[in-house]
Amino acid sequence: MQISKKKILFIEDESALQMTFGNMLTKEGYEMIKAMDGKTGLELAKEKHPDLILLDLILPKMDGFGVLKGLKENEETKEIPVIILTNLENTGDVQRALELGAMTYLTKANYTLSEISKKIEKILA
Amino acid sequence: MDSKKICEQLNIKKQCQKYGLTLWQCPQFLFLVMGIIIMVIIVVSYLMAIQRIEDPQIVILMIIVSTLILVIIDYIIVHSFERLAESTRMKMEFIGIVSHQLRSPVTNLKYALEPLMSGELGETQKKQLDYLTVLKQNVDRIQELIDDILVVSRIQTGVLSLKKASFSIVELVEKTIVEVKPLSLASNITINFRKGKNIPNIISDSFWVEQAFRNLVDNAIRYQKGKGIIDILLEKRGQNIYLEVKDSGVGIPKADQKYIFQKFFRAKNVLKSQTSGTGLGLFIVKGVIEKLEGKINFSSEENKGSTFWFKLPIK
């Protein structure tokens, strides 16, 4: 019996990060779904029902807060854990994201790829 | 101007916070102080004038003219001061935005280097790894500089956020010492820790207190001349916690001591031996300690060592 891979939706407009994270997470055995803007990310979340969403905050078309709000207002996506992965680190942004329902808030500059990978593994265990 | 804006202008404390200035540097507060001084001058001038000049109309005219001159001078000075403070605030805000924009490409570099160096993308030859290590070290340096500039910008624009809670300062100091031990041992430096009796928990921001203490210990390690000793003292002094870091290092030349807490300043004697370092560490430490309502100072003698200390209120 083939065990289906866990799906991770990565909503990030930086193609360099899409590549590095994509390679890392694929190697770890996850199925990657990529979105380069907030609007597409929200649509893909509703369509593909990922097990986890990695979400940047500064995004074209719809910012991360808008995506988060949209996810939590939808019955089908509201339970999907969301990790905020951003370079914004103002207390106001962190608080706002957590209040909107993000599971955790990671500042890119403060974590290595492997540290983020471990956090993902823990959440999806 | 609507009433909300007028109320905001009248809120001196808020205005000072906006510029990231202390009360005595704040244009609005200075305007108020000068207004009071002018009123006192008017009363004194009137009392003196009526004793010497018989015609009350001349006295009143003299008072009105001198008051007008003083108010105009006051306005010009305070307005120029306000424009200067506003331009500094905008400059720091701009630096903050630019630094933030620089973070993304640096983070991208960091994440791209990680799998290359770990060999995940195929075996890396030693020479290639040497070059990648150089890249990684420099990416880390740029990131450190950007992080420091962002903190400086937040301190100067008054938006550094603090989260105060009760924590054990003893545990914080001991944990930090354990963490810096490998670096101190590698540099042949012994760290001695002495603590006073009955040190209570303090209400402060543990993250920034740790950053400040770590910075002082890092400096004490970095600026040693070969084998050395660092003495750390923690004790309760009145309603404060006193934390001291004393080293036997290169010290700070007397002529440089007055600049030591300034941005980007590095003492002449360390520039010869230590080329790395942003010169922002002590500026940040001072800014943070003062935001936490504490005090920081130091004493130093070239070639003998330095003692840096700070105290923080317990509550």
Residue B173, judged by CB atoms within 10 A of its CB (0-12, 13-18, 19+), counts as buried
Residue B308, domain CATH:
3.30.565.10
What's the number of domains chain B is made of? 3
Q: Confirm whether B94 is domain-assigned.
A: no
pLDDT in tens, chain B (315 residues): 567 667 766 777 777 766 666 777 777 787 788 888 888 888 887 787 778 777 778 878 888 888 888 888 878 887 887 787 777 777 777 777 777 788 888 988 999 998 888 888 888 888 888 888 889 888 888 888 888 888 888 887 777 888 899 999 999 999 999 999 988 888 889 999 999 988 999 999 999 999 999 999 999 998 887 788 999 999 999 999 999 999 998 899 898 898 889 887 877 766 666 556 678 889 999 999 999 999 999 999 988 899 999 999 998
d(CA B155, CA B293): 14
Residue B152 belongs to domain spanning: 100-156
Residue ending a domain, among B34, B56, B89, is B89
Q: Confirm whether B194 is domain-assigned.
A: yes
Contact call for B107 and A17, based on CB within 8 A: yes
Q: Are residues B269 and B130 in the same domain?
A: no
Q: Are residues B84 and B138 in the same domain?
A: no
Structure token digits, residue B152: 């400086």
Q: Are residues B75 and B177 in the same domain?
A: no
Phi-psi region of B309 (alpha: psi -120 to 50; beta: other; left: phi over 0): beta
Q: Are residues B16 and B66 in the same domain?
A: yes
Out of A19, A27, A108, whose CB is closest to B107? A108
Is B107 touching A (CB cutoff 8 A)? yes
- Which residues sit opposite B298 in a β-bridge? B308
Q: Are residues B112 and B7 in the same domain?
A: no
Q: Which long-range contacts (CB under 8 A, 24 or more apart) does B299-304 make?
A: B300/B251, B300/B252, B300/B257, B301/B251, B302/B250, B302/B251, B302/B252, B302/B253, B302/B254, B302/B269, B303/B225, B303/B250, B303/B251, B304/B248, B304/B251
To which H or E segment does residue B241 belong? strand B240-247
Q: Confirm whether B277 is domain-assigned.
A: yes
Of B180, B208, B1, B100, the residue nearest A93 (C-alpha): B100
3-state secondary structure of B43: helix
Q: Are residues B187 and B303 in the same domain?
A: yes
d(CA B288, CA B152): 10
Place of tokens 């924009």: B101
| Distances, alpha carbon A19 to alpha carbons A35, B111, B163, B170, in Å | 12, 10, 36, 44
| Residue B1 pLDDT | 52
Contact call for B112 and A21, based on CB within 8 A: no
d(CA B190, CA B309): 19
Q: Interface of chain A against chain B, CB under 8 Å? A: 14, 16-17, 19-21, 23-24, 27, 87-88, 90-92, 108-109, 112-114
Q: Are residues B70 and B17 in the same domain?
A: yes
Out of A16, A27, A90, whose CB is closest to B161? A90
Q: Confirm whether B119 is domain-assigned.
A: yes
Q: Are residues B14 and B74 in the same domain?
A: yes
Whether A68 and A100 have beta carbons less than 8 Å apart is answered as yes
Overall pTM surpassing 0.80 (yes/no): no
Is B101 touching A (CB cutoff 8 A)? no
Q: What is the DSSP string of B148-170?
A: HHHHHHHHHTT------EEE-HH
d(CA B263, CA B145): 12
Contact call for B108 and A90, based on CB within 8 A: no
A to B CB pairs, distance under 8 Å: 48
Flag whether pLDDT at A2 surpasses 60.
Answer: no
| Residue B58 pLDDT | 81
Q: Are residues B152 and B171 in the same domain?
A: no
d(CA A111, CA B33): 49
Residue of chain A with shortest Cα separation from B101? A87
Nearby residues of B212 by Cβ (< 8 Å), 6 or more positions away: B284, B285, B288, B289, B296, B310
d(CA B103, CA B94): 14
Chain B residues in contact with A95 (beta carbon < 8 A)? none
Of B309, B169, B130, B298, the residue nearest B232 (C-alpha): B309
Chain A residues in contact with B110 (beta carbon < 8 A)? 109, 112
| Residue A3 pLDDT | 59
Whether B191 and B149 have beta carbons less than 8 Å apart is answered as no
Q: Are residues B209 and B293 in the same domain?
A: yes
Q: Are residues B200 and B72 in the same domain?
A: no
Q: How many CB atoms lie within 10 A of CB B201?
A: 15
pLDDT one-digit tens code per residue, A63-93: 999 999 999 999 989 999 999 998 887 777 8
Out of B112, B147, B163, whose CB is closest to A109? B147
Residue ending a domain, among B133, B156, B179, is B156
Name the average pLDDT for chain A.
89
The CATH superfamily label for domain A7-124 reads Response regulator (3.40.50.2300)
Chain B residues in contact with A20 (beta carbon < 8 A)? 108, 111-112, 114-115
How do B240-247 and B228-237 pair as beta strands? antiparallel
Structure token digits, residue B226: 């070969």
DSSP letter, residue B201: P
How long is chain B? 315
- Rounded to two decimals, the ipTM of the complex is 0.73
